[in-house]
Structures are given as C-alpha cells and as structure tokens.
Amino acid sequence: MAGEGFKALSGPWRLLLLGDGSPTRHLRLLTGNEVEIELIGMKKEATPCKDAPPEVKELKPPLLRRQVWLKCGEYTLAWAESWWNFNEAEKHLINKSQPIWKSLTEDKSELFREVDGLALMSSPWLEERFKKEGPFWSRHYRFFRKKRELTVIREVFNPKIEIWLGNTPRIKLQIE
C-alpha cells in the first residue's frame, strides 16, 4: 500500500493510515496527552477469527489475540487488535497496559512496519464507544523483526481525530 492512489485522503490522513510511524505516538503528539491502553482482552486462539486479516495466517500458532481501546485524555480515539505467536507475545508484551510500540522499542531494536490494507468498518459496538456513526477508517499491518513477521495489527480510528487531521471522506476510495 504505497499510498499513491489515495488522493481523496488529505495529507495528514494519508500519513496516519499509510505511514510507517507509530499511531500511538502520533495520537500523543496530536492531542498532547499520553495514550492510555484500556485492555479489553487477551486470549489464546487455536485459529484466527473469520474476519482476521489474511496475514495472520503467516504467524506460527498457537496465537494470542489482544484487543484494546486507545485513549487520550477524555477521548477514546481508536480500537486495536493484534495477533501474535503466543511465545512471542509472552516475550514482548510484558507490561499489558502499555502500547505495543512502547513494548517493542524499549530495547531499541529495529522494527519494520508494512501496511497491508485499508478499510471502512461499521459496527454498533464501535459506534457506541466512539459516539459517532460509522463507517470508520481502519488499517492493518505487520511488524517484522529480523525479516520475519512478529505481529499483525488492525486499528480502527474514531472520526473525532478529524479535530486534528481535518475531515476525511467515509466512502469507498477509488485507487487512481
């Protein structure tokens, strides 16, 4: 997903959705507030759920699925889920209440992020939490370390971040 075909998205939205930077860091910089994690759950999965990104199949089972809300101050600005090989999760997610980026970069080792897909998602439980009607922009990507997949992450963003990034279309974008 190089981003050349997404001209209908403003520059700031392209950076957030298609860039290889940390969304938790971006949210902190945009809002001026630390990102707090509200852990929804972490559980072992024998096989990925049916709506998991296809890249999850590249991870070696058994899998661990983690779901969180990302909050800055009074706002819940994103929902995220990640899939891990269970042993890798045990090694890297020591502090369950901190963002993944912070956990993975504490030892200053190299990571590579590859954005694999964008989508517009709608769900009553997201609408309830975001206090907005969907659809919501979503992306999924993989982190690599030493040339192998470490985790697959999906994030769904609250339109409330339009306060900082400007409005964005919530219609299917045509790749130009």
Show me where the domains of the chain are located: 11-165
Q: Each residue of 109-118: pLDDT tens digit?
A: 566 778 999 9
Q: Each residue of 60-105: pLDDT tens digit?
A: 899 999 999 999 999 999 999 999 888 887 777 666 665 665 555 5
Q: Please, where are the H alpha helices in the chain?
A: 11-18, 23-31, 86-92, 100-105, 124-130, 162-165
Q: Are 121 and 96 in contact (CB under 8 A)?
A: no
**Nearest-CA neighbor of 18 among 4, 38, 29?**
4
**Nearest-CA neighbor of 15 among 144, 173, 166, 127?**
166
pLDDT score recorded for residue 10 = 82
Please give the CATH superfamily to which domain 11-165 belongs.
Answer: Chorismate lyase-like (3.40.1410.10)
